[in-house]
Structure 1
Amino acid sequence: MFELPESDFRVAVDRLRDLIRFDTTNPPGNEREAAEFLAGILREAGFSPELVGRHESRPNLVARLDAKPENRRNRPLILSCHLDVVPADRERWTHPPFDAVEADGCVWGRGAIDMKGFAVMALTVFLLLKEKKIELDRDVIFVAVADEEAGTNLGSRWLVENRPDLLGGDPEYVINEVGGFTLHQHGKRFYPVQVAEKGIAWLRMTATGRPGHSSLPQPENAIAKLGEAAAKLNRASLPWHVSEPARYFLTEMARGRGPVAAWVCRNLLLNRRLGPLLLPLLVPRERRATFEALVRNTATPTIFASGTKINMSPPNATLELDGRLVPGQTADDLVREIRAVAGSGFEIEILSDFPATVFDSDTPLFQKIEAGLNARDPDGSVIPSMIPGFTDSSNYARLGATCYGFYPLKLPPDLDFAALFHGDDERIPLDGLKWGIETLYDVLVGALEAK
């Protein structure tokens, strides 16, 4: 197995800290400086990276490692990351979110996990493939996109629609977030590798009321009506929809509690009445919300807007909802479920939507991923998984690519990894990062080396 020299690992850590220090909060994004930083590293290594996009300040970075013509037998593989990050409230952090502090065995900062950590992991492996002159059976393409956190319109979606040539035209595989990290449960270690992700339905819900002077309370108050609807949605559990990827993932996780639990999960979880009763028995409380989101559509209130004057009851109020769709469900299905909870009298507009994405795990690359993880942790179990969010993979799928969330990190049992995504005190354990670089290198050499 490959072992990364400590001096090379320190270079990777320094690059990660430098990358975090670029504030690429989206909005507005401003990913150019971060992309130029990576492009400079690639140029020094002999690559010719391209920076392309709709806006000058928000380019996408693409670099290509070509296989020799006599060895090129397969379609390209893409290593994809995004450089934008979500906002961070520095008052809530132990260390400032863009200072990239190294402390307690971690690098702390917004993007350390999501997803500048993988940017540096993938970049390091990409450079190693060239440095070690690995004979490849296909081209390997490194992609660092903008705008993933705000819907991908300026990032992977723009590339797919405008410059698919830079992505190899018809890539066979994409390695992206989220998966490959250690998940501890019932004393066992699992490594979920993402093969499915929920779709989105971003909605705007509008209530109308009777405008007037607010010294006279109005029974038909738009804010009050919409507030009640938001509270109902926040408390509600929408209907049970267990897709095949979710059922397989939950069944394999239940297997950690023994064959009886696995049988119960596999055979009864599909039941709409019994399933909701069984899940709390199979999944620890602290992880239940994540697992629940795999088997239900969700609609989370995120933006409330109304009124322009404190002494006037507004004529309307709007609530924006971040809706997520399980495989097989549509935005219209979610709207019907919302109306069943919130009641009538609201206009619901679909702002943006796309369906869930599911990829086949029966491929040579997935087998290499499984073998690579098993070699590093023989007692761990590799499981095809689904995530409740969405990633750039939904766009790459339009080119016919099979996409896997494989961001290998060996994590300790006491780290709530899921809470670090978009959460306070985001940080990446350095020993886990080193393990991940080594694991990703082994997997790619095993999968791509010309035979």
Structure 2
Amino acid sequence: MSPNPPLDWTAITAEAIEHFKALLRIPTVNPPGNERPAADYLARIFEAEGIEHTIVESEPTRASIVARIRAKNPSGKGPLLLNGHLDVVGVDREKWTHDPFGAVEADGCIWGRGAIDMKNMVTMSAMTLVLLKRARVALDRDIIFAGVADEESGSNKGAVFLVEKHRELVQSEYVLNEVGGHTLHMGAARYYPIQVAEKGICWFEITAEGEPGHGSMPHPGNAVVRIARAIAALGDSRLPQHASPVVENFLRTIAKGAPFPQSKVLPLLLNPRLASTLLEIVQRIEPDRAKGLNAMLRNTASPTMLDAGHKVNVIPSRASAHVDGRVLPGMTEREFLDEVQRVIGPGLRITVREQHDGVEFTTDTPLYRAIESTLAVHDPGGVPVPYMIPGFTDSFAYARLGAICYGFSPVRLGRELEFTKMYHGHDERIPVEGFAWGLRVLYELVRDFCARS
């Protein structure tokens, strides 16, 4: 183990929070993104510490920054990459308690768009490199930080761009990314989901064509009515259930700590004959949890945009709907679209607009075991558990490098805050103490995993 001088975590946390708030105040809403000011801010931090870094742009203002600390005595082990996206989703300002770009500290939390998704991980990762450099920790593998653009719109101008055009900057053996490492309370038990799998996307358009005509004379071939029926069918249906081993293990594990009746209901969700009825019951009691459970058990297709007509008194010859499809790891685009087609019926055209496969990573690695060990030190009563998110992250891009990716952006949350309500939601915020806890957990995990024995 490399030398481990005592660190002043009070001072370190104050420094990290200063950087965190500064990043939250930079409005990197995507679209349009404009991540360059955030990348420039991080570059100034690395420049002051003498840490090697570079900024690349996929197009003007769409910037990603990559920094690296090199191993002093390389052992042949591949680098560990800490990833965080710099862009954030939009806000409805009038529905926020505090300015979403004000980085207000109130009620024990720091409020702002990106507080959980994911400028917290950006800050913790950057500070991890800073602390390792200051402590002169002898490493046996390189540590890379990537603060990337465009994750919220598909990653093409960020992580995908780095993988395809600047592979040498981000080639790594392991990646730590977002959506994992947060506290999940079930009864008296505390779990820490570690993301080891994520769905792919299949964003597609459904098009209905029909006979045009005057709006005063309805007819059954109206394209708007046909597309409406297709959308209603998708909204009223659940696609077939496919419980993966990761999801099965996750549900059975958290059921052990759940109170009755959740302790009985969760495992029964794995039975396709019972799942729909049980999900309806859960929906009435805990609608947010029901949405997440449903999405883990099957492919999903959510209509999100409509396009039809140009004049109120003209029945158009064409109507279309854009649909956000999420596909389980291991399933093909064709298998997914066949499921959709069976729901919406024949005579409608499906056109895929963007697609990438889901990914799943093994837990039988030294890094996963290191995550378990670190959590055992910082929360001995907490239980790490592998899980799959129903969305996607930049991990699908890094998987193309052959990297093993885990979602582990540690934050300790109390019962009053539910992680899934924070990202993309109103009043996104993070507890100050939970951020400080995560900062130390991430640093010690990376230090112990990458330090020379």
TM-score range normalised by the length of the shorter chain:
over 0.9
Separation in 2, partners of 1:414, 1:3: 31
Report the secondary structure of 1:53's partner residue.
strand
1:179 aligns with 2:180: yes
**Residue matched to 1:197:** 198
- 1:124 CA displacement: 1.2
Out of 338, 346, 349, the residue aligned to residue 347 of structure 1 is: 349
2:16 corresponds to which residue? Answer: 12
**Could you tell me which amino acid in structure 2 is paired with residue 157 of structure 1?**
V
CA drift at 1:306: 1.6
With the length of structure 2 as denominator, give the TM-score of the two structures: 0.93
Any conservation in 2 of the 1:245–1:385 contact (CA below 8 Å)?
A: yes
1:346-425 equivalences in 2 (<5 Å): 346-425=348-427
Q: Give distance in 1, aligned partners of 2:117 and 2:259.
A: 33
Amino acid at match of 2:31: P
Larger CA deviation: 396-405 vs 90-99 = 90-99
For the aligned residues, what is the CA RMSD?
A: 2.2
Q: What SS is found at the alignment partner of 2:380?
A: coil
Provide the secondary structure at the position in 1 that maps to 2:272.
coil
The answer to whether the 8 A contact 2:209-2:317 is kept is: yes
Match of 1:75 in 2: 78
Q: Which residue of 2 aligns with 1:51?
A: 55
Seen in structure 2, the aligned counterparts of structure 1 residues 281 and 376 have a Cα distance that, compared at 3 Å, is farther
Q: Which runs of 5+ in 1 are unaligned?
A: none
1:337–1:96 Cα change, 3 Å: same
More deviation in 205-214 or 245-254?
A: 205-214
Quote the offset at 1:265 in angstroms: 6.3
Answer yes or no: is the 8 Å Cα contact 1:85–1:149 preserved in 2: yes
2:71, 2:139 within 8 Å by CA — same for their partners in 1?
yes
Q: What SS does the corresponding residue of 2:289 show, helix, strand or coil?
A: helix
Q: CA deviation at 1:278?
A: 5.7
| Contact in 2 for aligned 1:202/1:323 (Cα 8 Å) | yes
> In structure 2, what is the Cα distance between the partners aligned to 1:3 and 1:259?
44
Q: 2:320 aligns with which of 318, 321, 324?
A: 318
Q: How far apart are the structure 2 equivalents of 1:215 and 1:310?
A: 10
Indicate conservation of the 8 Å contact 1:203/1:321, yes or no. Answer: yes
Aligned residue in 2 for 1:159: 162
Q: State how far apart, in whole Å, the 2-side matches of 1:35 and 1:144 are.
A: 7
Aligned partner of residue 49 in structure 1, secondary structure: strand
For each residue in 1:256-310, what CA deviation from the matched residue of structure 2 results, as whole angstroms up to 9, or x when unmatched?
Answer: 24899889966x6554324445667899724121111111100011111122223
1:211 matched residue in structure 2: 212
| Alpha-carbon distance change, 438 to 250 in structure 1, aligned in 2, over 3 angstroms | same
CA distances 1:196-229 after superposition (whole Å, capped 9, x unpaired)? 1111111111111222232333432222221222
> What does residue range 273-352 of structure 1 map to in structure 2 within 5 Å?
273-277=273-277, 285=286, 286-352=288-354
Higher alpha-carbon deviation: 87-96 or 290-299: 87-96
In structure 2, what is the Cα distance between the partners aligned to 1:258 and 1:308?
54
- Cα distance per residue 1:53-95 (max 9 Å; x no partner): 3212102110110111x34431100000001111111122112
SS at match of 2:58: coil
Matched letter for residue 117 of structure 1: N
Q: Which amino acid aligns with 2:439?
A: I
| CA positional deviation for 1:338 | 1.6
Cα-to-partner distance string for 1:355-380 (whole Å, 9 max, x where unaligned): 21010111111111101111111111
* Correspondence 1:272 to 2:272: yes
Deviations 1:93-125 (A, max 9, x none): 112222222211111111111111110111111
Corresponding letter in the other structure for 1:85: V
Q: Secondary structure at the match of 2:306?
A: strand
Match of 1:229 in 2: 230
Whole-angstrom CA distance in 2 between matches of 1:251 and 1:131:
43
Determine if contact 2:187/2:259 at 8 Å carries over to the other structure. no
Question: Secondary structure of the residue that 1:59 maps to in structure 2?
Answer: strand
Q: Which stretch of the first structure deviates more once superposed, 92-101 or 290-299?
A: 92-101
Amino acid corresponding to residue 207 of structure 1 in structure 2: A
Contact kept, 8 Å, 1:218 with 1:313, in 2: the verdict is no
Are 1:299 and 1:323, in contact at CA under 8 Å, matched by a contact in 2?
yes
How far off its partner does 1:429 sit?
1.2
Distance 2:273 2:241 in 1: 8
Measured in 1, the distance between the counterparts of 2:44 and 2:191 equals 37
Q: Counterparts of 1:211 and 1:22 in 2: how far apart (Å)?
A: 49
Whole-angstrom distance in 2 between the partners of 1:308 and 1:281: 42
Aligned 8 A contact 2:189 2:258 in 1: no
Shift of 1:430: 0.9
Equivalents in 2 of 1:282, 1:312: separation in Å?
44
Q: Conserved in 2, the CA contact under 8 Å of 1:255 and 1:261?
A: no
- More displaced 10-residue stretch of structure 1: 75-84 or 341-350: 341-350
Q: After alignment, is 7-16 or 144-153 more displaced?
A: 7-16
Displacement of 1:19 in angstroms is 0.9
The residue number in structure 2 matching 1:245 is 246
Task: Name the CA distance, whole Å, in 2 between partners of 1:382 and 1:309.
Answer: 56
Tell me the equivalent position of 2:141: 138
Give the Cα–Cα distance (whole angstroms) in 2 for the partners of residues 28 and 17 of structure 1.
Answer: 21
Q: Name the CA distance, whole Å, in 2 between partners of 1:281 and 1:449.
A: 50
How big is the shift at 1:24? Answer: 1.1
Offset from partner CA, 1:375-430 (integer Å, 9 cap, x none): 11111111011111101111101111110100111000121210111111111111
User: Structure 1 stretch 250-259 or stretch 333-342: which is displaced more?
Assistant: 250-259
The answer as to whether partners of 2:410 and 2:442 remain within 8 angstroms in 1 is: yes
2:115 is matched with 112
Residue 42 of structure 1 and its aligned partner are, at CA, apart by: 0.9
Identical-residue share of aligned pairs (%): 45
Task: Tell me: CA distance 1:280–1:408, structure 2 relative to 1, closer, same or farther (3 Å).
Answer: farther
Q: Distance in 2 between matches of 1:142 and 1:362?
A: 24
One-letter amino acid of the counterpart of residue 379, structure 1: G
How many angstroms apart in 1 are the aligned matches of 2:24 and 2:314?
45
Tell me the TM-score normalised to structure 1 length. Answer: 0.94
Partner residue of 2:45 out of 23, 41, 44: 41
| Partner in structure 2 of residue 446 of structure 1 | 448
